[in-house]
Structure 1
Amino acid sequence: MVKSTRSVAFVILIGVAARAVFAVTDGLLPNGHFEQGPAKSELNGTRVLGPYSIPHWAISGFVEYIESGQKQDDMLLQVPEGERAVRLGNDATIQQQLAVTRHTYYSITFSASRTCAQAERLNVSVTPGPQSGVLPIQTVYTSSGWDSYSWAFKAKHSTVWISIHNPGHEDDPACGPLIDRVAVKTLRSPHHVKTADNMMRNGDFEDGPYIFGDTPWGVLVPPITEDEHSPLPGWMIMSDTKVVKYVDAPHHAVPCGAGAVELVAGRECALVQEVRTVPRRSYKLSFAVGDAATGCQGYLAVEAYAGRATLNVPYESRGTGGYKRAELEFVASDNLTRVVFQSANHYVKSDATLCGPVVDDVRLVPVHAHMHAARRLRR
């Protein structure tokens, strides 16, 4: 009887430990790199058996614990950091409970790699709420096969569950993406990222998702049509399946400050922000166009739209960094003006991975009447 009671107490203790709630700090979640793994008794080959077998995580569905260098058929599975990762097979979910601050915005960053040929996608969600997003991961943007993705949410409760789910149902239940390194970052409210001399919110891209310090490939920002729930506060990403890339100064050539956006998907994706304007008033949009010093060479071009005005900005890139500034004047026709940036074409590096021009330091200011008068006098 004593032994039975102790066994029950032990099970309860494990369940409580698995459900421990951790306060959010910027960086990796507890065991976010999955280096702490299941006990051997909790594995059937690579498949994880128990819902709380991976420390600090709850799982469901077909989840595997993968070690770097492990083989799948003829493919060698690599892990970007450390020695271990998880693979989400059919209808598999990993989730972790966090203590957050209500009404605060957060972004999640994680690394993922495809292991099969099908068009894979991931559902990222937070509950209660609920809030969720579908992240397309069929396009690979790095030569290593690993990309980092971001997703954002606004906390509606003080305790939330963060979940990453593979909704796929394949003949091979293990055919799913690898996940490694899950991190969180607190974002400023999109309503508080505007300066007195710039009508654009987060026009300098200083506010963005968490970037892992030892990865040189930046973070992908998926299609998102709500600027309030964007990992790039103030900005929307308009596309069906393509993304933009958020890049940082330590690993890339950034025209200004600490962050910028690389338009890596050609005309299939647009970086968008809606700005309050006064109809029939003139405005000036200015921005920097360059390259991220990642070997993206050749004739790059950015197409900018503001209201009914358009501008094509060519940039001759050597792939080693640099930028030029551009300006577009327009007259607002509505109370809301949509500012849009697109890469004019698809570009690839020598390793066949997608790349594109960098946009940074986007500024929008009204053009006062006396400025127009001065220009007319100079003509």
Structure 2
Amino acid sequence: MEQPPGFIDPKHPTHVCRLKRALYGLKQAPRAWFQHDIIITGNHSATITRFISRLHQEFAIKDLGRLSYFLGLEVTYTTTGLFLSQTKYAHDILTREKLLEAKPSATPLATAELFTSTGTKFADPTQYRSLVGALQYLTITRPDISYAVNQVSQFLQSPTVDHFQAVKRILCYVKGTITYGLSFLHSPKPTLLGYSDADWARCIETRRSTYGYSIFLGGNLISWSAKKQPTVARSSCEFEYRALANTAAEIVWITHLLHELYVLPPGRPTILCDNKSALFLSQNPVSHKRAKHIDLDYHFIRELVSSGKLVTKFVPTTIQLADIFTKSLPKTLFESFRTKLRVGPPPVRLRGGISDINI
């Protein structure tokens, strides 16, 4: 770790600091957490009890009973499943910024809001980075703010006053939905379904597109993303196709994980896209001259489709759930998609649940 500004040793200015413990925000921090905490879950109580007993023979552990709070995540047991939220964590952020009495905002960002690097520089970049970092952790149970947080995260190096105002609007939205979280419901016939979308040349400075996806297992949101594409796309077909390929890669990884857990659904995974040209490109085995410039690794989606391991289908833009991860939406449409992602207030509680163990 480099010597922090203001504390540089004048005799050894090029030396670095050796970490004796993991600091918050570093890549080593999550590993430090999981060296001491573990969650045990399953659908067979006797097996869980035997497993905990075997752990107790090898390690000094303490069974904390039913899981209710873990690394800032709050778990509520309902009559139909689980509800995950970060209400206390969000409350702490708002308290620190003195925004508990702020007027709530209906959406995280204004409709069709675009960000640039020009404008008056914000006086305290450290405060900006701290807030954005806190909001990034909040997206674990709040996918509805993923796109907004992605946008403000692109200006950590040199934020402006407008960028900070955008962060405050996100916080005002969180204030009005502070108890919201993700619901996971039991599904007798789980299927793997993904939505893929991209917004062409959204960034007016780099002309790079923003793509997003949402992947559901049995109707439960298990993976989502809002990210700027690393390259510039020459057409709407190209950037939609690249987004489709990224979604396919995530689904392939999820299928491998579910296979190892012996819970892989019998049906083929399906990806829904609202661009017919990209769908045709993924299903057509004949390369078109206009697609030759697309990197070869993106064409693996064709192999998945042709081998029968993946299905791609068209979905109208009006019900394209991944749209919430690629652009700022009007209030009515935003709330509709948010509900379909199963993001909302906590439902009814129920006894019983998962064990939380400290080692």
**Same fold (TM > 0.5):** no
Q: TM-score, normalised by structure 1?
A: 0.25
Q: Which has the higher strand share?
A: 1
- Greater RCO structure (CA 8 Å; 6+ sep): 2
Q: TM-score, normalised by structure 2?
A: 0.26
